[in-house]
Amino acid sequence: MDHLDELEAESIFILREAKAKLDKLAILWSLGKDSNVVIWLCRKAFFGHVPFPVMHIDTGKKFPEMYAFRDRYAKEWGLNFLREECPPLEATDPTLPPAARSAARKTLGLKAAIQKHGFEGLILGIRRDEEAIRAKERYFSPRDETGQWQLKDQPPEFWGQYMTSFPQGTHVRVHPILHWTELDIWKYTRREGIPVIELYFAKDGKRYRSLGDQDITFPVPSRADTLDAIIAELETTRTPERVGRAMDHEAEDSFERLRAAGYM
Amino acid sequence: MRAIHALPTDGTTMPHTSGAAEARPLRIVIVGHVDHGKSTFVGRLLHETGSLPEGKLEAVEAMSARRGMPFEWAFVLDAMQSERDQGVTIDTTQIRFKTAARPYLVIDAPGHKEFLKNMVTGAAQAEAALLVIDAAEGIQEQSRRHGYLLHLLGIRQVAVLVNKMDLVGFSADRFGNVAEDFRAYLAELGVQPTCIVPISAREGDNLVRHSPRMPWYQGPSVVQALDSFAYTSLPVDRPLRMPVQDVYKFDERRIVAGRIEAGRLAVGDTVLFSPSNKTAKIRSIEAWHVPAPPREAYAGQSIGVTLDEPIFVERGEIMSHVENPPVLTTVFKARLFWLGATPLRIGSTYKLKLATTEATAVVEAIERSIDTAELASLPPDRIERNGAGEVVLRTKRMLALDEYTANPRTGRFVLVEDHLPVGGGIVSMEGYPDQRQLVTVRATNITQVGHAVSRAARAARNGHKGGVLWFTGLSGAGKSTLALALERELFARGWQVYVLDGDNIRSGLCRDLGFGPEDRAENIRRVGEVAALFADAGFLVVSSFISPYRADRQRAREAAGEAFHEIYVKAALEVCERRDPKGLYKRARKGEIKEFTGISSPYEPPENPELVVATDALGVEDCVALLLRYVEEHFRV
């Protein structure tokens, strides 16, 4: 088994644990490279099937390429697809910096969708290497009744035994690719031939490394216009992945506040 | 602030090459007492190996200046606001770096006592550990706790870093004292550190290259120590174990899914599911989006199989081959660590999770309770939070499991209370029989006549296993004396025991045989077969024959299998000749007896006997006591 095989086997194990132990799960699909890999891994784990609804929380501000991708692959992959809308900006915490406030719309939209469908848990494509606070996550991460993440009092997780039963009212986040890196994602995408949105490829000397809302996501200088070129670029870069995500950089604790409140 | 994911560019590290199958990161954990310098060490190591993201160092320096604090290497890691405020690392974070040899994934575990569950979470993922100790403060509570837990978590590769050598003037003596103390502590746990390295994390001494300030230290630098660690290999060569995660029926296929935790399997193999005890053949290995359906699968892979028969199988069972199945039991011993806020007590009930199975488990006994900070024994009525101990657990449901030493991944478990994991342990079956035989008979009811009463059932009734104590030694060494004394003692204790010796064999079973070499070999062969039958019938057989040839004894061993124990009753030839209870040596010396062992015919002493009883050094009583202890230890159920 090579490194990608090991990562894949671990993720499949986690997805199957989630399926076996939790009811009413949904996959959160951001349309980006990571959640595409999660959907792909589901098809691996469940022999071509995706046995959970796949939900897109739509801010209405994504790039047109992202919507085109979503509509095509929701059909092509035979997904049980759900689209949910976000409330207007006015509904968010006014003390947050502007970009974080924009991102917080998604948190509210997500909370409403969870309530509407009665989901007990969500499967998300976050990774430890993306962001320092995400590095603290567990594979199975409980949220209390208010949706809060008790960062400082997380359950222990060892020997492939996850917290899979919860007090009434707990909501759980499952993170099957927590242990992957950005480079792993691209190498796996290349190996498996997973389709990606063309915004990731360089055009006129710039490309997107991470995709979010149009108004708070910015391309970074790059010449990488193929998968091979992206992988080569990442193998030598020392620039962090989310450099183009405005909300991360407004204040030292922006991201932590977003996460604690239920952001992905 | 962001996580560190970057690759080195300076001369101390190897440039990354794409294409070729590359090394995966080795997972290491950094543990130790609070404030002994773990975060400083990691920050400095990232810098020394050129692994910090661009601008990170400058950003942290600027941040320190803005806050009016002197720069510290630990700030590099303390990415969170709350952490900086508290000044401690509260959880495990993951950081990557590379040396010339390979990439690493660092799990930085917290040193605070309250965060032991986070330390366990971090350390359980690691393949090797660095344990940091402050040279000035020396060994502290968490140094010992972490040392103990690493061992229990199964991490065998441990390098100890004696940090802050700059604070003790780079003193070789001080280092020597700390190193010796800790080595002694680890030795008590049965742990031998890979190496003990004196360092100054803050100043970078002995991290990558040898420090000129400690010329007296000749051992490896930290990076050399790291590069000497081995990857934890998947147990492909152990018996097959695939805990069933689920059974899927998304389409016309009925797929049994799970991760292979040990061993390998191939299409066509007959597999056994435990504890339900059902068998079937592997019809196919299913996979999606692969060039060709796999024919084989190995430890580490998450797979799915279809079976040739529609047997009912469910989550929690362990799939194995028919040979080498897991142990079936409702009771076992465990060494465990405890994280629960409420102490573990005798009679308490927990949810036990082992591989993919769950069962209700009761603490039947606490045999030891250990304060891991001092390695002291506590009164065994409870195991406190952050403590450890040895317990006996009993479940209502039959469990399929393994001894930890035989198959770690199916020999460890987690205890859950009120939804929370509160403890982890490793299984020992010492003193408890495998209940598979009992179950097999009851479950199928169609077994052959010869197996209607199982070996385990006999052992359970007798209170001991059957077996062969094969006494070998020169004439006059004391075989018969000891055999008869042992028989008397064991019989008095209620054992099913029987002595086979020359007289009761030669007069019947072997009366057609003479004393030529072939006949002697045939004599021993028959004795071996008879002893094996007695052992199978549940008896402890003591056979008392010179049996001078290794090959003959080997044949007897093969007849009885694992039940065979070779006991070398040993005395020097001169001693035997002086004793000469039957006057045989005298006659042999006179040439009246031909081919007499030791005089005119060789005696081949055992190469690896299970036990040696030196009758020329011990009195008869001591010899019998030694034998009794051995028997109690190996045959008592």
pLDDT digits (tens, 9 = 90+) for B288-310: 999 899 999 999 999 999 999 98
Distance separating alpha carbons of residues B326 and B427, to the nearest angstrom: 12
Domain assignment of residue A236, yes or no: no
Of A140-154, B113-127, B596-610, the least confident: A140-154
Of 3.40.50.2300, 3.10.105.10, 3.10.180.10, 3.40.50.300, the CATH number of B456-635 is: 3.40.50.300
| H, E, C per residue of chain A | CCHHHHHHHHHHHHHHHHHHHCCCEEEECCCCHHHHHHHHHHHHHCCCCCCCCEEEEECCCCCHHHHHHHHHHHHHCCCCEEEEECCCHHHCCCCCCHHHHHHHHHHHHHHHHHHHHCCCEEECCCCHHHCCCHHHCCCEEEECCCCCCCCCCCCCCECCECCCCCCCCCEEEECCCCCCCHHHHHHHHHHHCCCCCHHHCCECCEECCCCCCHHHECCEECCCCCHHHHHHHHHHCCCCHHHHEHHHCCCCCHHHHHHHCCCC
Asked whether the ipTM of the predicted complex exceeds the cut of 0.90, the reply is: yes
User: Residue B504: helix, strand or coil by DSSP?
Assistant: helix
What are B137's two structure tokens? 């403060």
| CB-based contact A71:A64 (threshold 8 Å) | no
Task: Report the pLDDT averaged over residues B85-99.
Answer: 56
Strand-strand pairing, B497-501 and B540-544? parallel
What are B446's two structure tokens? 């169609």
Catalytic residue among B320, B475, B547, B601: B547
Structure confidence at residue B39 (pLDDT) = 83
Q: Which of A136, A144, A253 to mutate to test the interface with B (most CBs of B within 10 A)?
A: A136
Nearest to B604 by CA among B525, B543, B522, B549: B549
| Max Cα-Cα span within chain A | 53
| CB-based contact B375:B418 (threshold 8 Å) | no
Which ranges in chain B are annotated with CATH 3.40.50.300? Answer: 26-228, 456-635
Domain assignment of residue A91, yes or no: yes
pLDDT in tens, B237-283: 999 999 999 999 988 999 999 999 999 999 999 999 999 999 999 99
Using 50, 70 and 90 to split pLDDT, how confident is the model at A216? confident
What are B322's two structure tokens? 């028919």
Nearest to B532 by CA among B503, B559, B499, B505: B559
The A residues from 123 to 142 touching B (CB cutoff 8 Å) are 128-136, 138
Structure confidence at residue B1 (pLDDT) = 32
The A residues from 174 to 213 touching B (CB cutoff 8 Å) are 181-182, 192
Cβ–Cβ below 8 Å for B288 and A167: no
Closest Cβ opposite residue A239 in set B24, B54, B94 = B54
Fold of the CATH domain B26-228:
Rossmann fold (3.40.50)
Closest Cβ opposite residue A19 in set B246, B258, B300 = B246
Of A64-73, B213-222, B514-523, B548-557, the least confident: B514-523
Query: To the nearest whole angstrom, how far is the Cα of A160 from the nearest Cα of chain B?
Result: 8
Residue B2 clears pLDDT 50, i.e. is over it: no
Residue A185 clears pLDDT 50, i.e. is over it: yes
| CB-based contact A59:A105 (threshold 8 Å) | yes
Domain assignment of residue A66, yes or no: yes
Query: To the nearest whole angstrom, how far is the Cα of B298 from the nearest Cα of chain A?
Result: 9
Structure confidence at residue A245 (pLDDT) = 72
**Residue-number span of the structural domain to which A107 is assigned:** 3-180+250-260
Task: Report the pLDDT averaged over residues A192-205.
Answer: 95
CB atoms within 10 A of CB B323: 9
Long-range contacts made by residues B182-186, C-beta under 8 angstroms, separation at least 24?
B182/B133, B182/B139, B182/B143, B182/B147, B185/B139, B185/B144, B185/B147, B185/B375, B186/B147, B186/B158, B186/B160
Q: Is A20 on the interface with B (CB under 8 A)?
A: yes
> What's the domain count of chain A?
1
Which ranges in chain B are annotated with CATH 2.40.30.10? Answer: 242-321, 328-428
Query: To the nearest whole angstrom, how far is the Cα of A181 from the nearest Cα of chain B?
Result: 8
Structure confidence at residue A251 (pLDDT) = 63
Distance separating alpha carbons of residues B423 and B613, to the nearest angstrom: 44
Percentage of chain B exceeding pLDDT 90: 54
Closest Cβ opposite residue A132 in set B3, B251, B421 = B3
Query: To the nearest whole angstrom, how far is the Cα of A135 from the nearest Cα of chain B?
Result: 5
Domain assignment of residue A206, yes or no: no
Where does B242-321 sit in CATH, by number? 2.40.30.10
Q: Is A144 on the interface with B (CB under 8 A)?
A: no
Q: Which helix (H) or strand (E) holds B297?
A: strand B296-298
Give me the half-sphere count of Cα atoms (radius 13 Å) on the Cβ side of residue B370. Answer: 19
Nearest to B149 by CA among B426, B355, B364: B426
What are A239's two structure tokens? 């620039």
User: Residue B361: helix, strand or coil by DSSP?
Assistant: strand
Active-site residue, B547 included: yes
Mean of pLDDT over chain B = 86
Cβ–Cβ below 8 Å for B3 and A131: yes
| CB-based contact B365:B317 (threshold 8 Å) | no
| CB-based contact A25:A123 (threshold 8 Å) | yes
Strand-strand pairing, B26-32 and B103-108? parallel
Closest Cβ opposite residue B6 in set A132, A159, A238 = A238
Q: Which residues, other chains included, contact B560 with Cβ-Cβ below 8 Å and sequence gap of 6+?
A: B467, B468, B528, B531, B532, B535
Domain assignment of residue A134, yes or no: yes
Mean of pLDDT over chain A = 89
pLDDT in tens, B133-187: 999 999 888 888 888 888 888 898 999 999 999 999 999 999 999 999 999 988 9
Structure confidence at residue A256 (pLDDT) = 66
User: Residue B1: helix, strand or coil by DSSP?
Assistant: coil
| H, E, C per residue of B74-107 | HHHCCCCHHHHHHCCCCCCEEEEEECCCCEEEEE
Residue A55 clears pLDDT 60, i.e. is over it: yes
Structure confidence at residue B305 (pLDDT) = 98
Q: Report the chain A residue with the minimal C-alpha distance to residue B302.
A: A9
Structure confidence at residue A147 (pLDDT) = 66
Fold of the CATH domain B328-428:
Elongation Factor Tu (Ef-tu); domain 3 (2.40.30)
Residue B89 clears pLDDT 90, i.e. is over it: no
CATH number at residue A60: 3.40.50.620
Query: To the nearest whole angstrom, how far is the Cα of A18 from the nearest Cα of chain B?
Result: 10
Chain B positions in Cβ-Cβ contact with residue A77 (cut-off 8 Å): none
Residue B516 clears pLDDT 80, i.e. is over it: no
Closest Cβ opposite residue B300 in set A6, A129, A166 = A6
Chain A positions in Cβ-Cβ contact with residue B22 (cut-off 8 Å): 3
Cβ–Cβ below 8 Å for B250 and A46: yes
